[in-house]
Structure 1
């Protein structure tokens, strides 16, 4: 026992002596952190919880994920400091910064900073094959459509998109897992998903039943791109076993965000860890193959946190001072 104590003390002493800068850099670091994600069954929860665990394990700070309503609520929680980290989509982020959040109209959520790019969120539709719905125009008048959790990216934008495409529907909210179950049970007609691919709920659905994953035709895609802050996107056929060919849809970028008051050194180390270990991030969720430094330019909405900006600038990705909080 004495020998073990002596060895442990010697090891601790050597580590402390070898890394005084690290100890100094940790001034102001929180004892723990929580990442705002979204509902279970969606990509945000899988990505966010895995990322939080990865950061916690490597930086020695307790961390985890919290189930939330998604990007809109995450913007509010990070702005107020109730959560220090969160995941958001650029559309809801812009509306929240402009004071147009449906959760707090008039409140400009400007204490939220960007950390790193995540991936694009495709907007896609899933229906049971037995319904015969193979295209948006096949969706029957008055169909019940599940749009995800209230306040999510899907719930914020997909109903507007469906209206723009002339679809007359009844709106249903719920977690992706819950809506997938309702679709399988025939309680709703369609689920309008907005999440990074592959979406866990869709992957689970197609194992249990036959589904149609529905894209957009030329006219539909052009109309949506012209009216909303999205761009065209192609879901590769390899993403789901139900796809025989690539599916053309639209998408919106996602970024990890942080309360702007978090210590620069802490955010720097998290950004460094995430951006320099993409293979590990992809093992957490395949959508993370787009979580690479080159996509930093996709952020045109949020100011950059000084800690994140320092890492990008040190590694050849220029972020001007005016874009840093």
Structure 2
């Protein structure tokens, strides 16, 4: 086992002990077996499924809560809860350990997990995709007072690269390196989640922070209301990152007026977000969960606008991870 892998598993163990599953409704009796209390492998016997999401200031957490509601309402015999986590990297490990049944992860991290590269060096995970659900936008943010206009301007500054074990951390480091910045030497590096990044920008204890999430991100909506938030453009690095790491990065605009006082579009990097499960999950359960999510899109849009991107016609077109057999059955039927 690599040193990085050991570190992630140590952090995972601590996270599982420190962060309980957070219930969106009153608790219901759990079934037997399965990481989240349900029997997610073998025969679909019912129970409670656990969904690994992210921090409360991002999109994964509220959208995961919406998924939990649709499972509760539409998958017979099953309830679901959400876990607040450090997001993508830890989420893949939570699936591997059985501490979660479903998890959200951004494309480059999911690809690394199934290939056994990067944070998962030499230890590929047996995961499959229930579908591409929406795009993550890498949104580096600062305030007017810092004078930061580009990533290069972050040199010598105090910068949060995202929570440990998150896709934000992975992407932020790659963007900084593409801009010629050594994250160990050229910045005062902090590792904060979305809500903590916003608080630190307001307190002026950091100069800039990276966040990778859907549009709009709740914590950034809060920061933008102050009239000082500025999104730093990074679309220029899409080709370099794609060439080095794979087809996970596309230059896309955060449209004008996504956030208060943002009068112009800003070009950043976008990556697909994948809902994943263990390949051992029962195929009928995979199909029923996928159906519950994609056939209740309008309900999920009310939870978060990122759900606008749900599309059963294209959700199975993820080249870097196998689509779960039950999910593929649903997508085939939906497209016929």
Structure 1 residues 221, 105: closer, same or farther in 2, change over 3 A?
A: closer
RMSD over aligned CA atoms reads 2.0
Per-residue deviation, 1:66: 0.3
- What residue number does 1:73 align with? 90
**Aligned partners of 1:29 and 1:263 also within 8 Å:** no
Unaligned runs of 5+ in 1: 1-25, 318-325
Correspondence for 2:214 among 196, 215, 231: 196
Per-residue deviation, 1:93: 1.1
Q: Does 1:142 align with 2:156?
A: yes
Deviation string 1:252-275 (CA, Å, 9 cap, x unpaired) is 111111122222222211111211
Q: Give the alignment of 1:58-69 within 5 angstroms.
A: 58-60=74-76, 61-69=78-86
Alignment partners' CA distance in 2, 1:117 and 1:256: 7
Q: Does 1:252 align with 2:271?
A: yes
The structure with the larger Rg is 1
Per-residue deviation, 1:27: 5.3
**Aligned partners of 1:71 and 1:151 also within 8 Å:** yes
Alignment partners' CA distance in 2, 1:169 and 1:225: 24
- What residue number does 2:134 align with? 119
Give the SS at the match of 1:295: coil
Considering fraction of residues, name the structure with more helix. 1
TM-score (norm 2): 0.80
**Aligned partners of 2:89 and 2:109 also within 8 Å:** yes
- What residue number does 1:314 align with? 333
Correspondence for 2:258 among 206, 228, 239: 239
Per-residue deviation, 1:135: 2.7
Q: Does 1:36 align with 2:56?
A: no
TM-score (norm 1): 0.83
Per-residue deviation, 1:210: 1.4
Stretches of 4+ moved more than 6 A in 1? none
- What residue number does 2:73 align with? 57
**Aligned partners of 1:126 and 1:211 also within 8 Å:** yes
- What residue number does 1:162 align with? 176
**Aligned partners of 1:154 and 1:193 also within 8 Å:** yes
Number of paired residues? Answer: 288
Per-residue deviation, 1:296: 2.0
Per-residue deviation, 1:33: 0.5
